[in-house]
Amino acid sequence: MADTFKSYPPKGRALAVTNLALLQSLPLAFVPFLLKDLIAFDWNFPVEQLELTNQFTYLTGLWEQQRTREMQPFATLKLTEKIENLDWVNQPAQFLEQLSAHLWATQQMDGFRDASESYVRKFNIWQPTVKQPAPRLGIAVFGEGVDQTQYKLFRKLRNQGVYFSQVNPKNGIDAIHQTLTTRAAAYSTPYAHWCVDGASITASLPGLTCVSYNSLTPVRTKLAAIMLKAYGSTKFDPEQLRTTLAAITPETVEMKDSGDGALDRFQVTLLTEGSGTQIYSTTFVQWAAREALRRAQPLTLYTRYAPRQKERTMDELLNGAGEKTVPDPAGSLIDADMGAYYTWINLERLEGADSARFLVWFEGHNEALAISPALKAGTESKTPIDMPTLLGNLA
């Protein structure tokens, strides 16, 4: 029976075999979601592994009638023979792509979404709470290359926190780095503290899991070649390209082995599953932050945006070797302002949302916004403040 899962990595295969009877009892419109996580299990982050294991415990623990009832909305979805005959065991991600297209075409997507949300809600209520050792902290920094702006910054966050208009920017980045490394040392857990940078990370940040746009340039170049080849085919097929991209691994794109398979795979998926992450550093930072929060559920997340390149057409971008890149600092500022808002939303989705802290700073300038249960939301402070004090308010 283990042969059924021979394409799965060892830990994922073992978990699948242990739960084989359960998997066989689940409807086809549901089970590939578990298989998609199982087939990547060995490279998933610890929190993801725990959650998947918990899902098996949850589903196994339901009485048969309960489980049948919970799965009913998935079981009643009408699939086609073609979809049912797909290799959903070995290619769950591709199966889910096809399933999604079918559900849209047959107007079953709304019912499916409702069923999924209901399942996740009930599972989350059941799932044991893991107490965080400290409140979560998110920090977003942006604005490099912009001297002044007419754009009203932090516009979507102002009603959540305090707008500081007299921040002393001196040594601001150093103070942030100090806060990050102090937290990483105090609460040392794998993948609990992250740094995502839209350019390069030059500082030493011990204890942090670091991802940067520039460090992935060789991978992006390899991906561009794969995409160009797909474009160049006589019959370009976006779905086939998605399948191709989904199958890409760090080895496929000759990514240097960092010794951390989970992180290497995570970084590749940022480029293969993200849209626009391959070409715009601002999109990369926002998407990386979203995925880090969703998958690793860190205690600390620091994002720093850099100017992305000016808009060019996709084929220009993919063929851009040797062409001078023109930055767009003003546009990047607006992108990052929205990106920071999305990071806050994603932070709020995690356990401990009520106690989460968030700081967003217009780098090198006097404007910042801080969110904390201890700060009065929707207010403004015109009192001069330096970055260490501001960060201290979020401790």
Partner 1 sequence: MAASSSKKVVVVTFGGGARDDETFHPEGQDNIPHMLGELAPRSTFFTQVINKGILGHYVATASLATGVYETFNNFAAVSPANPTVFEYFRKDLKRPSTDAWVIAPSNGFNRIGESENKAYGKGLGAGVILPKRLLAAALANGAGADFNHLLQDNYESQAFSPVIGGNDVELKQLADLFKVSVSDFIAHAKSLASPDELSVYIAKQLMKRLAPSLLWITLHDIDVAHSGAFSLYLEGIKRSDRLCAELWKAIQSEPEYAGKTTLFILPDFGRDSDISSGGNGFQHHRTGDATSRTTWLMALGPGIRENHVVDRPVESIDLVPTVGSMLGFTPSLSHGRPLLEVL
Q: Is 254 left (phi over 0), alpha (psi -120 to 50) or beta?
A: left
Kindly state the smallest distance separating residue 83's Cβ from partner 1, in Å. 14
β-bridge partners, 380: 163
Provide the H-helix boundaries in the chain: 10-18, 20-25, 31-38, 46-61, 64-75, 81-84, 92-105, 109-126, 172-186, 217-232, 238-246, 261-272, 281-296, 314-318, 329-348, 387-393
Kindly state the smallest distance separating residue 335's Cβ from partner 1, in Å. 5
Q: Do the Cβ atoms of 363 and 172 come closer than 8 Å?
A: yes
Kindly state the smallest distance separating residue 156's Cβ from partner 1, in Å. 8
Residue with smaller CB distance to partner 1, 131 or 235: 235
Q: State the amino acid at position 266 in one-letter form.
A: F
Residue with smaller CB distance to partner 1, 62 or 330: 330
Residue with smaller CB distance to partner 1, 6 or 152: 152
Residue with smaller CB distance to partner 1, 113 or 122: 113
Kindly state the smallest distance separating residue 204's Cβ from partner 1, in Å. 30
Which positions ≥6 away from 370 have C-beta within 8 Å?
161, 162, 164, 357, 358, 359, 390, 393, 394
**Positions that interact with partner 1 (CB under 8 A):** 101, 104-107, 109-110, 113, 116, 155-156, 227, 230-232, 236-239, 241-242, 245, 273-280, 282-283, 286-287, 290, 308, 311-316, 328, 330-335, 337-339, 341-342, 345, 349
Q: Which two tokens stand for residue 207?
A: 């204890």
Please state, in angstroms and as integers, the Cα–Cα distance from residue 199 to each residue in 2, 288, 335, 379, following that order. Answer: 45, 13, 15, 33
Backbone angles phi, psi at 211, to 5 degrees: -135, 135
Kindly state the smallest distance separating residue 105's Cβ from partner 1, in Å. 4
Residue with smaller CB distance to partner 1, 237 or 257: 237
Kindly state the smallest distance separating residue 237's Cβ from partner 1, in Å. 8
Query: Tokens 């809600």 belong to which residue?
Result: 121
Residue with smaller CB distance to partner 1, 179 or 272: 272
Kindly state the smallest distance separating residue 359's Cβ from partner 1, in Å. 20
Residue with smaller CB distance to partner 1, 277 or 381: 277
